[in-house]
């Protein structure tokens, strides 16, 4: 089966790979898969991953073994971490924190930029017909956005600033708004600004934000994917406010900790989130993803697709669209 492979030298290539078998897991034919900021970071060396990237996908279960046979034929999305199920982390913090976990397309497990992938049935969520394939690609990042509302109590009228109008930032902004927060999006480019405005958000340019809006917000979220996003989030948060960190990138951030101590800031690291909430929000139309789609490409045009993704917006690859057999 065809797959886009990230080689150890950081380049991508289309390769022929053995088709996964239903050996205790479900084999999923991938209909569509989204390129996210994390994938672009993987190319720069984040997580030291080589293999098939891609962790935002929708597909149809084609094969499953034994008790899981009832999954065959169902249209699904998948949680991305697979824990051992036995260690202390798995039993308390969840499989996402298992020390020997694999993560689809990020750590020790091939991902979705391929015609097929495999995942245990416990990671799969069946989709209602009300969520179309393009929207379904957003379930994983929308879940990550919903995670913020699990970690921080969002009060109606709460002043929130989302730094970064990228794919994830605009999902987080919508989740916060749906829960009653008064949300402003901090943007860096005209394109980001028009996207945020199209979704009904007030925006402010990053340069102006640090001065005119300094220390105004109860909650700030860094969703830039850049090391300097944190500085902006820190400049905007009020004393005793909360900063949520959504950016994962390759490299380190120099950080001056004293201001955080003096202002008694709460820092919250935030990663994967609840798929059920995300599916519900998307199915009810409470999160609008369509303006975020920048392009849809077949697998063999992956190079073009990645190039497009670097310029912003959600780019979707379609490894095995429709119902044809490979």
Residue with Cβ nearer Zn ion (80 or 209): 80
State the nearest-atom distance from the C-beta of 49 to Zn ion, in Å. Answer: 13
CA angle 262, 263, 268 (to 5 degrees): 115
State the nearest-atom distance from the C-beta of 5 to Zn ion, in Å. Answer: 18
Helix (H, G, I), strand (E, B) or coil at 49: coil
Residue with Cβ nearer Zn ion (84 or 214): 84
Residue with Cβ nearer Zn ion (84 or 255): 84
Residue 276: CB atoms within 10 A of its CB come to 12
Residue with Cβ nearer Zn ion (98 or 181): 98
State the nearest-atom distance from the C-beta of 286 to Zn ion, in Å. Answer: 20
State the nearest-atom distance from the C-beta of 37 to Zn ion, in Å. Answer: 7
Give whole-number Cα distances, 18 to 63, 76, 79, 326, in Å: 15, 22, 23, 12
* DSSP per-residue codes, 275-310: HHHHHHHHHTT-S--GGGEEEEEEGGGHHHHHHHHH
State the nearest-atom distance from the C-beta of 36 to Zn ion, in Å. Answer: 3
State the nearest-atom distance from the C-beta of 14 to Zn ion, in Å. Answer: 21
Q: How many helices (H) and strands (E) does the chain have?
A: 11, 18
Name the nearest CA neighbour of 35 among 227, 302, 321, 322. 302
How far apart CA 118 and CA 22 sit, in angstroms, is 7
Residue with Cβ nearer Zn ion (20 or 53): 53
State the nearest-atom distance from the C-beta of 107 to Zn ion, in Å. Answer: 13
Contacts with Zn ion by CB under 5 A lie at 36, 38, 83-84, 87, 90, 98
Structure tokens at 304: 């073009």
How far apart CA 302 and CA 293 sit, in angstroms, is 16
How far apart CA 214 and CA 152 sit, in angstroms, is 21
Residue with Cβ nearer Zn ion (142 or 209): 142
Residue with Cβ nearer Zn ion (87 or 205): 87
Give whole-number Cα distances, 322 to 51, 140, 169, 253, 318, in Å: 25, 21, 30, 44, 9
How far apart CA 66 and CA 225 sit, in angstroms, is 41
State the nearest-atom distance from the C-beta of 247 to Zn ion, in Å. Answer: 12
How far apart CA 301 and CA 308 sit, in angstroms, is 11
């Amino acid at each position: 089966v065809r797959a886009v492979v990230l080689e150890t030298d950081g380049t991508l290539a289309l390769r022929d790979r053995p088709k996964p078998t239903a050996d205790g897991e479900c084999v999923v034919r991938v209909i569509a898969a989204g390129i996210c900021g994390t994938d672009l970071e993987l190319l720069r060396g984040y997580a030291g991953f080589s293999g098939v990237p891609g962790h935002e996908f929708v597909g149809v279960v084609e094969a499953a073994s034994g008790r899981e046979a009832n999954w065959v034929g169902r249209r699904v999305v998948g949680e991305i971490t697979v824990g051992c199920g036995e260690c202390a982390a798995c039993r308390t913090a969840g499989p996402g924190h298992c020390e020997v976990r694999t993560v689809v397309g990020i750590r020790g497990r091939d991902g979705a930029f391929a015609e097929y992938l495999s995942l245990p049935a416990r990671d799969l969520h069946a989709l209602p017909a009300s969520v179309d394939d393009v929207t379904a690609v957003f379930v994983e990042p929308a879940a990550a956005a919903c995670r913020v509302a699990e970690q921080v109590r969002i009060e109606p009228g709460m002043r929130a600033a989302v730094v970064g109008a990228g794919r994830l930032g605009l999902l987080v902004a919508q989740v916060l708004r749906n829960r009653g927060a008064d949300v402003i999006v901090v943007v860096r480019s005209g394109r980001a600004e028009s996207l945020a405005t199209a979704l009904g958000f007030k925006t402010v340019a990053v340069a102006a934000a640090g001065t005119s809006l300094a220390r105004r917000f109860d909650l700030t979220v860094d969703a830039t994917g850049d090391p300097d996003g944190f500085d902006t989030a820190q400049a905007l948060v009020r004393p005793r406010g909360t900063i949520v960190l959504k950016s994962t990138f390759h490299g380190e951030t120099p950080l001056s900790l004293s201001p955080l101590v003096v202002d008694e800031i709460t820092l919250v690291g935030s990663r994967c989130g609840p798929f059920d909430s995300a599916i519900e929000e998307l199915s009810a139309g409470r999160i609008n993803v369509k303006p975020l789609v920048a392009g849809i490409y077949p697998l063999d045009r992956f190079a073009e697709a990645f190039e497009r993704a670097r310029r912003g917006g959600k780019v979707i690859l379609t490894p095995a669209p429709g119902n044809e057999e490979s």
